[in-house]
Amino acid sequence: MGLIEQLEWRYATKKFDDQRNISKDDLDLLKKTFALTATSYGLQPLKLVVVTDKKVQEQLVAHSYGQKQVGQASALFVICSEQSIDAAFVENYFARVEEVRGTPTEVLAPFKKHLMENFITKPKEQLTLWASKQAYIALGNLLTACALHHLDSCPMEGFDAVRVKKALNLPSGAEINMIIAVGKGTEEGVWGPRFRLPYEDVVFKR
């Protein structure tokens, strides 16, 4: 099936079959999809935590307002954004660019100076918001990848981020943005015919 057909098939699954798991190949594919996601400036201020331990998943149900798909899913993909975006973070990025591409330091200097001035002078709240926006790019990529490989998924923002962070023992510099439950859905997980607003109501040409 093509991309459009798979996107028409996709829906936010409300119930997963907890006896059916997705394959290791599918897990690896989604991990790589996340790692290859485009981000502003290419800085990748994101981290992904993949949870497949059922005991941990069950603990997280209580921290997700009782949403059972958190415990039923084959895997949870927890997208986090970096909170410590400072000079060292930018320096590490350019060191990696020089290592991989072999770009001379003097060629990178103007862009590096621009990023340093841009990021170091911004309030922490603005940097946090910027980083969280990158997480939604990764979310879109992961949902599309799930659809293309016929994997049921459910993006979720309904959770207590502080408690989930503690349960997963995440470092203080990581901020949880959303959780994607992935697995094999059941017929009970479909709440009715999938629908969207008419194409003509959302797409305009000028």
The β-bridge relationship of strands 75-82 and 46-51 is: antiparallel
Output the pLDDT for position 191: 65
**What mean pLDDT do residues 26-53 have?**
96
> For residue 1, what pLDDT band results from cuts at 50, 70 and 90?
low
Measured between alpha carbons, how far is 84 from 93 in angstroms, rounded to an integer?
A: 13
pTM above 0.85, yes or no: yes
> For residue 199, what pLDDT band results from cuts at 50, 70 and 90?
confident
Output the pLDDT for position 30: 98
Of all residues in the chain, the percent with pLDDT exceeding 90 is 76
Strands across the sheet containing 75-82: 46-51, 75-82, 174-183, 152-156
Output the pLDDT for position 19: 93
Measured between alpha carbons, how far is 18 from 21 in angstroms, rounded to an integer?
A: 7
Measured between alpha carbons, how far is 175 from 128 in angstroms, rounded to an integer?
A: 9
Looking at every residue in the chain, the average pLDDT score rounds to 92
Measured between alpha carbons, how far is 133 from 128 in angstroms, rounded to an integer?
A: 9
